[in-house]
Structure 1
């Protein structure tokens, strides 16, 4: 479906692209007489304010997998998929209060750096390799594929050229500038992302002829598709295997969320680059409020597409463009691109810029974190005398190679239906073990290096065991069971070794003290989430 971009749309999108590249290169320029160091490149010189931290967290998180993948899941499953977003807001509070202070105290660049300080180099290397494989072969490839799918659907650009174009856009400023370029341009990206996303939702709800205005449009969705407005799915629901009932509140989703927000390099790296602990925590609360808003711009459009396409009489009122590349149960990921094709000229350019902002900001974040882990946790181990200039050069080269690999693999994902579920399931192969290793490392002094090593070794085999031996068990529950088994491995081996780990990092009650702004924000977020679940139970 070629959306029919007008000259105005091209001007708007071109201006957005020029702005991002210009700002990215400008903020990362070398100061006169000062060469860029590894701290400058990988941690933005620890200069990020709370609003930059919060904006960058959301820009790194919201990508094509949300706009395209989660809208597709909204089309297929309904509002229940919003649990990933709303439970993430609660998870951010836990991360900000209990995990982040320990990491900031340790003054680390990467998550594997914490592992080597708490355990040993063997565990660090295994986890660093895990992360590199997941970032390159799951995250980068899926974001490129979904983004290119959108470009193909909206503008008629062949998938491969869309992949190459997005990769080139992200590389244009992020490879040179590092985290400074990524984080500060993310502030602009979030404005486009939220603004353009809300515009698309507004126009989608307003496109229903039987209603007048957004509120009535939303009510119409509930009336016409009540099955799409349940947060907790029952066993009879055809998508129960994706969102297994109460497990989204008390089960395996906590494994996914705590791993993602607490120990995932390309997310937590923004908080590590904050000016102070207080700025980092305020940024996390800001991100939590934005997560509450996210389903409005990525899930509701998918439900709107479902309602608009299921009624042939209603579909006929939307014009000829509405009959091209219709989303379906087998092609749910067409939902968001299909909606963009219905937008009026001018608005289409803004909405497409929002989608591009989501894609490019996440690509840039993943590239920077991939290069950070490889450079600081693998290359620097073997080249301990590497200069700052050499570390920055290796970081740039690593990001470029990772991007080329992802570009080569991305077109192979065309056989997927709901790409968002693919990302969650395969990331879930490593998240139970990584979460267990970090949690016991943070809060149990008796957890030993050998126990963490065996937990890392068994992470994928245990996950694969559940996947192939118990395929009838929802994968989210499989993730929870894997976490319990790997936790048991850590506890048993640690107790058998009968010692307190001397490398355990001391924590005190004072370390977890939070200021009034954080506490008020945390209470407000929790109350809002509880209310939403009560309304849409």
Structure 2
């Protein structure tokens, strides 16, 4: 890898000065209540909402991992990247319900629709899941990226990034997070787009690249009997995970809730969906370009995950290389900032405020800041454990989503679409769902010591996509059966919170929050998604 030169360092310095300027400007604004600190005063426009949704999703592990998928034979994973149509579902279907209920967090919505038990389960589970997956994986991948780009050791890179990100998240709250993310999204898109164009030119265009890697390599659809990526299970499970991640997870939804009204929030999700189409071309294609150059003997790397940084350092001109390096750091920082803020919001609003309901607003903001600091410290403590985990577990962390998502997706979807679903059905499904998910993870870890002909081995060895699809069906049936066998929910638990109970006044309000432009852009996004699915069929 080529090292960064003076011009690159100049680009990185200018970028961080601008970032610091935005953070300082935000920190100086008044932030003495929880709505201002956790939801940026619910006063953010559609552009910042959309850019923030995109930047939150694209972490450094995402950039590195997606390019790695392009550089190894894992193109079916591309389906997770064309979930732009699910981001539209957040804006068109879920957001009006969230906005009407006036909630800060997703567990809070479950309490309004069901009861306090559902809220507690989701709050505690979400915080543990964030610390063990999102934070640890992002810090670990970030340390690898920073040390590779800047030529410093892993620890220095990881800790410096965590401390810097933690600092502006603690001081600036959600407003600092969304405004810095808007800048980071722009930098990352410009830098990665330049790398894709320069890379394609370098390999002699798309057809030359496809010829080298063979058209079959560029096929995202495998047969239904494929041991790794059977296409029916891939479509079903990736959609379940997509609905959980984009429509019910605090980490993403919090961005849409910062909007000044439903109209801006929906437009933000539509803009976020448009941006979400870009990673396919910005990160996956550079991975395929790197593989092409490696097959031709023009580029060398040891593991697919090194494809993006090595391609970037070798192909990009001085100055631009620094800007993309800054963009990668930005991606890492925005993911961390988002998850830090989501954790502190969940802890403060869903746990602390519940235990101490009379706490004044300024003290709640301070509690949120302390919670962020604690999460940052836990994240740092987790690094050595993460660094010692083998690459298998890193891949396995991606699978965990297929075990977390089904019960949460089932409860949210049925809760919004069916007014007969009650708190008992939601509670039983969440509890049983999390036990089954944890049981599957344990079986997967110990399956080597189980009898290969036994039922437990088969359950632990089942393809994770197939398991996810059946698990979701089980959760849906469980929620419906328990709800029908128990008492129907009261009117206040369903009015305006399910599709069958929206008042005429609310329907009119919702109708006036969009126009033909919103519909046309949404249809365009769906058409592009279908186009990508058809294009990557190896023909």
TM-score, normalized by the shorter chain, greater than 0.5: yes
- C-alpha spacing 1:357/1:516, structure 2 compared with 1 (3 Å): same
| Partners of 1:21 and 1:172 within 8 A in 2 | no
Matches within 5 A, 1:127-276: 127-208=122-203, 211=204, 216=205, 218-225=206-213, 226-234=215-223, 240-241=227-228, 243-249=229-235, 251-276=236-261
Residues 31-72 of structure 1 show CA distances to partners (whole Å, capped at 9, x for unaligned) of 4xxx52101000101111111110010011111122111111
Q: What is the CA–CA distance in structure 2 between the aligned matches of 1:244 and 1:147, rounded to whole Å?
A: 31
Q: Separation in 2 of the partners of 1:370 and 1:101?
A: 24
Pair 1:346 & 2:335 matched: no
**Deviation at 1:491?**
1.1
Out of 350, 371, 382, the position equivalent to 2:355 is: 382
Structure 2 length normalisation: TM-score? 0.90
Task: Tell me by how many angstroms 1:21 deviates.
Answer: 2.0
Gaps of 5+ in 2: 444-455
| Whole-angstrom CA distance in 1 between matches of 2:495 and 2:307 | 48
Q: CA deviation at 1:344?
A: 3.0
Indicate conservation of the 8 Å contact 1:59/1:361, yes or no: yes
SS at the partner of 1:134?
helix
Q: Shift in Å at residue 348 of structure 1?
A: 1.4
1:24 is displaced (CA, Å) by: 1.6
From the superposition, tell whether residues 335 and 471 of structure 1 become closer, same or farther in structure 2 (CA, over 3 Å).
farther
- Paired with 1:411 and 1:205, the residues of 2 have a C-alpha distance of 38
> 3-state DSSP class of the match of 1:428?
helix
For residue 290 of structure 1, the aligned residue among 259, 270, 275 is: 275
TM-score scaled by length of structure 1: 0.90
Distance 1:235 1:417, change over 3 A: farther
- Map of 1:446-485 to 2, 5 A cutoff? 446-466=420-440, 468=443, 469=456, 470-485=459-474
Contact 1:73 1:81 in 2 (8 A): yes
Q: Distance in 1 between matches of 2:201 and 2:356?
A: 59
Match of 2:494 among 504, 508, 523: 504
Inter-CA distance 400–178: structure 2 relative to 1 (3 Å threshold):
same
Deviation at 1:400, TM superposition (A): 1.1
| 1:74-96 per-position Cα deviation (integer Å, ceiling 9, x unaligned) | 2113543221121x111012221
CA distance in 2 between partners of 1:444 and 1:76 (Å)? 43
C-alpha RMSD of matched pairs (Å): 1.9
CA contact (8 A) 2:10 2:319 kept: no
Aligned length: 508
Aligned CA distance change for structure 1 residues 516 and 85 (closer, same or farther; 3 Å): same
Instruction: Please say if residues 3 and 151 of structure 2, whose CA atoms lie closer than 8 Å, have aligned partners that are also in contact.
Output: no
Distance (whole Å) between structure 2 residues aligned to residue 448 and residue 378 of structure 1: 23
Tell me if structure 1 keeps the 8 A contact 2:139–2:162: yes
Query: Is 2:532 the counterpart of 1:532?
Result: yes
Query: 2:372, 2:138 → 1: CA distance?
Result: 15
Superimposed CA distance per residue, residues 376-426 of structure 1 (whole angstroms, 9 cap, x where no aligned partner):
000001111111111111101111111111122134334443787434312
Moved more, 195-204 or 179-188: 195-204
